[in-house]
Structure 1
Amino acid sequence: MTYALDVDGVDKSFGGATILRGVAFAVESGSTTAIVGPSGCGKTTLLRLIAGFEKPDAGTIALAGRVVAGGGWVPAHRRSVGYVAQDGALFPHATVGANVGFGLPRRARTPARIAELLEMVSLDPSYAARRPDQLSGGQQQRVALARALAREPELMLLDEPFSALDAGLRAHTRRIVADVLAKAAITTILVTHDQPEALSFADRVAVMSAGRLAQIGTPREIYSTPIDVPTAQFIGDAVVLSAHVDGSRARCALGDVAVAANGVHGNARIMVRPEQIEVSTEGAGVSGTVVDVEYLGSEMLLGIRLDTADGDVPERVTVRRFGATTLTPGDRVGIRVLGRGVAYQA
């Protein structure tokens, strides 16, 4: 099978510091992949290698079956790759029309073609006469996308393009960009440190940690069955407790919890998501005491200290509860786990 992008065993170091080690993954044509990980894990370096701005120390990168790095070298301007940077990188002295037209051959820089590209990113053609400093942050990013689309790339690379926008504008701009790229059937890679953004934007999510690819899969797989505890804790909030696993059940401070069968037995650690923990004032199941309540608007986070037997050190868990709650610190509650947790060998 020929992939739109095939990265195989890529290493990269700068000044003796290893940034990427043995990174390998493939991206299907027309799909959207989000590369997510903490700052310094190598996300942007990987994107720059794919774009052709840097050369790998080892390994190969192929676009649509053609090797462009490692065993051959194809410069960035001949890779049919579009690139949108975090700040948009628009030319401040040029009009919007000139910025968009920069990606076009001279003969194709017509008002009609520029208007078409602006309309693709939900901007009125009249914006062509404006300058970047007359646009909002979200509009600037859409102009940057239009400029990248002008080259009709086979692969679009987005390097944290929404991170400088406020929350509402960020979500709105992200939806527009995702819709544009989906309609154009352009294979897309998004680099972000924002976990919800990665899960909502992409068909597949690749999680990086310390220069390595820890896990790649669908958003549901990554969130529901992370490969290890660090990945679980990075992709969303996680409640991680010591446990003893026997078959499909795990005994822990949250009681007897069902776990997915993954070969883990005996002493282990178990992970459940905060929304899996149900709180009741009935006192059924495992009991505990509310120690703090964090108000987040549409949801609330409850810190609960669990009751333990035999003088054990009490476990504290965080529970996500949607909507308002009358619970306050000091209230006694009963809790139980819904669904299955994920066990990891201790």
Structure 2
Amino acid sequence: MTPSLEVRDLGKSIDREPVLHDVAFAAEAGSITAIVGPSGCGKTTLLRLIAGFEKPDSGTIALAGRVVSGAPWVPAHRRSVGYVAQDGALFPHASVGANIGFGLPRRERTRSKIAELLEMVSLDASYAARRPDQLSGGQQQRVALARALAREPEIMLLDEPFSALDAGLRAATRRIVAEVLSKAGITTILVTHDQPEALSFADRVAVMRQGRLAQIGTPDEIYTRPVDVPTAQFIGDAVVMSAQIQGETAHCALGEVSVGATSVQGAGRIMLRPEQIELNTEGTGVPGVVVGVEYLGSETMVDIRLEAGVDAVEEQRVTVRRFGAGSIVAGDRVHSRVLGPAVAYPLD
């Protein structure tokens, strides 16, 4: 089956500074792909190239098997692409209905059609008469999505559309948008720097670093089996420590930890997620002292100085995530044990 979007060896420089290097990936029809990375990594430039706002220096972009980035060049308005910007980019002087109608052919700008599009994004038809400044941030983003959906695009591009919303509104708006796009079966590319957003919103996640795709895979693959330490540390909290790896076992400051089948042997590093380290006060596991506690409501981050461990040659500190309320305070003696396997990496 031909991918809905296929990017091959895409390169782009701005003011002679390379921004993208040989970026390649494909998105199947109806899928949602999140492109995540730190500011300046090139993710928004990539989105603009797909939209047709800019031309690549090298490589190709194909939509439903049709190359749109070569010769002849296919401009943005002739690509079946919807685009929702970070701030929604609604026309402030126009009503909601007029904003949505802008994306429709003149003959289709009817009350019933606009009401239908508002219903798609979970807004009542009465909102058509309001101005953008009479809406909440989440409502404005849903109107922007309705305007983009009016064109019946094959691909929807979302450029950090939830970043200006507060936490509660952001989560609710994200759920509504994901449901709308999934129901419509529209191939979607989301650009974000928010790791939890990428993991919860998308079927596949692409991690960008310095203009290159470091890894692309399912949210579970990206979180549990990151390709390298920088990717692991970007995509979530990570405990990284030195280890001696023999077979499928790593000997480290946390004792003997399973790493599964791995080609890494001898001196290396392992990565664990903080929730993989279990604390207890009954003496089971590696002893340590709590040196800091950060309360985050539903969870607590506990900083521990380990006192001993198999093959430990220097002081080791780890941060552990505990869910729910807890009574651990700085100065408490605790014991740590690892749940599940770590990921092994060679030394740099």
> TM-score of the superposition, structure 2-length normalised?
0.98
Distance 1:230 1:47 in 2: 23
How much is the aligned-residue C-alpha RMSD, in angstroms?
Answer: 1.0
Query: Is the Cα–Cα contact under 8 Å of residues 274 and 318 in structure 1 kept in the other structure?
Result: yes
Residue 71 of structure 1 deviates from its aligned partner by: 4.3
Tell me the alpha carbon deviations over residues 31-76 of structure 1, each in whole angstroms, 9 at most, x when there is no partner: 0000000010000000000000000000000000000003441100
Query: Is structure 2 residue 296 aligned with structure 1 residue 296?
Result: yes
Aligned partners of 1:36 and 1:52: how far apart in 2?
20
Q: 1:16 Cα deviation (Å)? A: 1.2
Residue deviations 1:241-298, cap 9 Å, x none? 0011111110111110001323111111100000000001012221110001100001
Residue identity matched to 1:240: V
Is residue 154–residue 186 contact of structure 2 (8 Å, CA) maintained in 1?
A: yes
* Structure 2 equivalent of residue 326 of structure 1: 327
Contact 2:289–2:305 (Cα < 8 Å) also in 1: yes
Superposed, which structure 2 residues align to 1:193-208 within 5 Å?
Answer: 193-208=193-208
Identify the residue that residue 340 of structure 2 maps to in structure 1: 339
2:275 alignment counterpart: 275
Does the aligned pair in 2 maintain the 1:20–1:212 contact within 8 Å? yes
Match of 1:168 in 2: 168
SS at match of 1:45: helix
> Is the partner of 1:82 in helix, strand or coil?
strand
TM-score (norm 1): 0.99
Q: Is residue 2:202 matched to residue 1:179?
A: no
SS across alignment from 1:163? coil
SS at match of 1:74: coil
Rounded to whole Å, the distance in 2 between the matches of 1:322 and 1:28 is: 37
In 2, Cα distance between equivalents of 1:256 and 1:311: 11
Matches of 1:285 and 1:216 in 2, distance apart?
A: 35
Q: 1:311 to 1:124 in 2, by over 3 A?
A: closer
Matched-pair contact (CA < 8 Å) for 1:60–1:71: no
Q: Give the 3-state SS of the residue equivalent to 2:41 in structure 1.
A: coil
Aligned partners of 1:186 and 1:17: how far apart in 2? 34
Q: Deviations over 1:180-220 (max 9, x none)?
A: 00110000010000000000000000000000000000000
5+ residue gaps, structure 2: none
- Post-superposition offset of 1:307: 1.1
Provide closer, same or farther for how the CA distance between residues 153 and 288 of structure 1 changes in structure 2, counting only shifts above 3 A: same
1:130 deviates by 0.5
Partner of 2:76: 76
* CA distance in structure 2 between the aligned counterparts of 1:260 and 1:42, rounded to whole angstroms: 34
Distance across 1 between alignment mates of 2:122 and 2:284: 53
1:229-244 correspondence to structure 2 within 5 Å: 229-244=229-244
Aligned to 2:305: 305
8 Å Cα contact 2:248-2:262 kept in structure 1: no
Match of 1:188 in 2: 188
- Kindly provide the CA deviation profile for residues 129-183 of structure 1, in whole angstroms up to 9, marking residues without a partner as x: 0000000000000000000000000000000000000000000000000000011
User: Do 2:286 and 2:308's aligned partners in 1 also have CA atoms closer than 8 Å?
Assistant: no
User: More displaced, 306-315 or 114-123?
Assistant: 306-315
Which stretches in structure 1 are left out of the alignment for 5+ residues? none
Shift of 1:311: 8.8
- The aligned amino acid for 1:341 is A
CA shift, 1:345, in A, is 0.3
Q: 2:94–2:131: 8 Å Cα contact kept in structure 1?
A: yes
- Written as runs of structure 1 = structure 2, the 5 A alignment for 1:48-59 is 48-59=48-59
Q: Is the 8 A contact 1:253 1:308 kept in 2?
A: yes
Q: Do the aligned partners of residues 268 and 112 (structure 1) sit closer, same or farther apart at CA in structure 2, a change above 3 Å counting?
A: same
Q: How does 1:1-346 map to 2 (within 5 A)?
A: 1-308=1-308, 312-346=313-347
2-structure distance, mates of 1:95, 1:318:
51
Structure 1's 311 and 250: CA in aligned 2 closer, same or farther, altered over 3 A? closer
User: Deviation at 1:314?
Assistant: 1.0
Structure 2: how far apart are the matches of 1:83 and 1:179?
A: 17
Question: Which letter does structure 2 place at the counterpart of 1:143?
Answer: V
C-alpha separation in 2, matches of 1:55 and 1:308: 57
1:287/1:306 contact within 8 Å kept = yes
Following superposition, the deviation at residue 232 of structure 1 comes to 0.1
Equivalent-residue separation in structure 2 for 1:263 and 1:313 (angstroms): 26
Query: Are the counterparts in 1 of residues 195 and 236 from structure 2 also a CA contact under 8 Å?
Result: yes
SS at match of 1:69: coil
Moved more, 261-270 or 173-182: 261-270
Instruction: Determine if contact 1:58/1:70 at 8 Å carries over to the other structure.
Output: no
